[in-house]
Amino acid sequence: MIRIQEHVDLFPYNTFKIAAKARYFTSVTTVADLRELINHPVYKQHKHLIMGGGSNMLLTGDYDGLVIKNDLRGIETVSENDSTVTLKAGAGEPWHAFVIFCVTNNYGGVENLSLIPGTIGAAPMQNIGAYGVEVKDLIKTVEAVDTSSGEMHVFTNAECEFGYRESVFKRKLKGKYFISSVTLTLTKKNHVLNTSYGAIQQTLDQQQSVPSIKSISDAVIAIRQQKLPDPKVIGNAGSFFKNPTIDQSQYESIKKDYPEMPGYTSENQQVKVPAGWLIEQCGWKGKRIGDVGVHPHQALVLVNYGNGSGENIQSLAQDILASVKKKFAIDLQPEVNII
Ligand code: EPU
């Protein structure tokens, strides 16, 4: 049975800790709830915003529509054999709780994605990734309900059209599906451990740890805690911008002036460059303007020190965009969803 509340403060539901209100708000805990909601007049007459952990969005003002909090929970084993296990997790399950479930059971694949804020449902939405692993490599299917008809559709991995921080759910099917669960396949033995990201190997060496699912997860947690602000303490939404890709020729021309510029070759003579480095070169790292700012340890993360508004963050982001464009002729794209 669904309950629709009015004029709800969204402060507890977004990790940027922006004080904005939803005209209507409801929480959905079952697919049946969702189908009931689809026939409700408030749903039919207003725009909707589906919310998971609220960890990848910037609310720039009150939301004059219906916010639907995805609270579908549970982790179940779909199938297993000697070497792999396939798990289905409810979209409202916190991502990190799922990772810990896997680490505790020695299921391999998600350990590099430890401590990422947000929910299971948001993971395929933006193809979360960190330390050399992207969730697209583990996802088998995504189960989602059509937000107009209430029909369930099972998306294969290919149908999700995953890219770097991209999927079909963020692009052509935006707002058309409510992700209800995600099915992932993990290893039970012969784990493929990924320690290629420099800081992981360094942390394991410092701790004199042998690479294992548990030691990698612990190393990633330690690295994230050092570099990234805890949203429970300082409002933020992780990386605010995506890492841009530029032509090899532009990369080489910038490198003449900045020989230490990092870059990773991707497809078609393109180079991915860290937006954090570009932003730091423009002098933004650690800068504070009123109650918002750029994190002192990672320039890609914008923070709300307390009473910053969505507009304050947006205006800071625009100033950063303009200065990166001016200095390097590179256009940054936001990674967070601006609402
Ligand atoms: N760098 C700087 N200054 C900074 C930040 C970074 O010079 O202020 C340089 C670093 O020295 C390094 C390079 O940029 O050479 C890359 O930095 P880092 O390893 O911290 O990763 P990132 O590219 O800034 C990406 C993801 C993160 C993810 C890390 C680790 C994006 C948009 N961000 O950040 O994801 O945790 O790699 O894999 O791709 C997120 O999406 O919210 C997120 C935190």
The residue among 244, 250, 253 whose CA lies nearest residue 331 is 244
82 and 212 share one domain = yes
At a CB cut-off of 8 Å and minimum separation 6, what does 206 contact? Answer: none
What is d(CA 141, CA 136) in angstroms, rounded to the nearest whole number?
10
Answer whether 2's CB lies under 8 Å from 28's CB: yes
Residue-wise pLDDT for 95-131, tens only, equals 999 999 999 999 999 999 999 999 999 999 999 999 9
Q: Is the pLDDT of residue 8 over 90?
A: yes
- Looking at the DSSP bridge assignments, the partners of residue 22 are 8, 63
Report the pocket of ligand 1 as residue ranges, CB < 6 Å: 130-131, 238-239, 242-243, 262, 274, 276-277, 280, 285, 298-300, 335
151 is catalytic: no
Q: Give the nearest ligand 1 atom to 238 CA.
A: 42
Q: What is the pLDDT of residue 90?
A: 98
Domain region containing 45: 5-70
What is d(CA 264, CA 273) in angstroms, rounded to the nearest whole number?
6
Q: How many domains does the chain have?
A: 3
Domain boundary residue among 13, 37, 70?
Answer: 70
Domain boundary residue among 226, 260, 288?
Answer: 226
Q: Is the pLDDT of residue 267 over 80?
A: no
pTM given for the model: 0.95
Mutate to test the pocket of ligand 1, among 300, 301, 335 (most ligand atoms within 8 A of CB): 300
242: helix, coil or strand?
coil
At a CB cut-off of 8 Å and minimum separation 6, what does 327 contact? Answer: 278, 281, 282
Say how many Å lie between the CA of residue 199 and the centre of ligand 1. Answer: 11
The residue among 13, 7, 23 whose CA lies nearest residue 64 is 23
- Strands in 21-28's sheet, in edge-to-edge order, are 5-9, 21-28, 63-70, 48-51
Q: What is the CATH number of the domain that holds 330?
A: 3.90.78.10
Catalytic residue among 93, 134, 143, 335: 335
63 and 84 share one domain = no
Q: Count of alpha carbons within 13 Å of 159, Cβ hemisphere only?
A: 10
Q: What is the CATH number of the domain that holds 27?
A: 3.30.43.10
The mean pLDDT of 258-266, rounded to a whole number, is 92
91 and 54 share one domain = no
Say how many Å lie between the CA of residue 333 and the centre of ligand 1. Answer: 15
Q: What angle do CA 110, 114, 51 make, to 5 degrees?
A: 95
87 and 203 share one domain = yes
The mean pLDDT of 154-168, rounded to a whole number, is 97
> What's CA 93's distance to the chain center, in Å?
14
Answer whether 64's CB lies under 8 Å from 22's CB: no
Looking at the chain, the whole-number percentage of residues with pLDDT higher than 70 is 100
257 and 272 share one domain = yes
211 and 140 share one domain = yes
131 and 257 share one domain = no
Q: What is the CATH number of the domain that holds 165?
A: 3.30.465.10
211 and 295 share one domain = no
92 and 161 share one domain = yes
17 pLDDT tier (thresholds 50, 70, 90)? very high
Domain boundary residue among 198, 226, 254?
Answer: 226
Q: What is the pLDDT of residue 303?
A: 98
215 and 277 share one domain = no
Say how many Å lie between the CA of residue 97 and the centre of ligand 1. Answer: 23
Answer whether 167's CB lies under 8 Å from 144's CB: no
Mean pLDDT, all residues of the chain: 96
Answer whether 272's CB lies under 8 Å from 261's CB: no
Q: What share of the chain is helix, strand, coil (3-state, %, to 5)?
A: 30, 30, 40
A 10 A CB-CB count for 187 gives 18
Strand positions, DSSP E, 120-161 = 129-130, 133-134, 139-146, 152-156
Answer whether 165's CB lies under 8 Å from 135's CB: no
Nearest CA residue ID for atom 10, ligand 1: 277
Catalytic residue among 27, 55, 217, 239: 239
Nearest CA residue ID for atom 29, ligand 1: 130
Residue-wise pLDDT for 308-326, tens only, equals 999 999 999 999 999 999 9
54 and 180 share one domain = no
Q: Give the nearest ligand 1 atom to 262 CA.
A: 15
112 and 124 share one domain = yes
Residue 265 tokens, joined: 């070759």
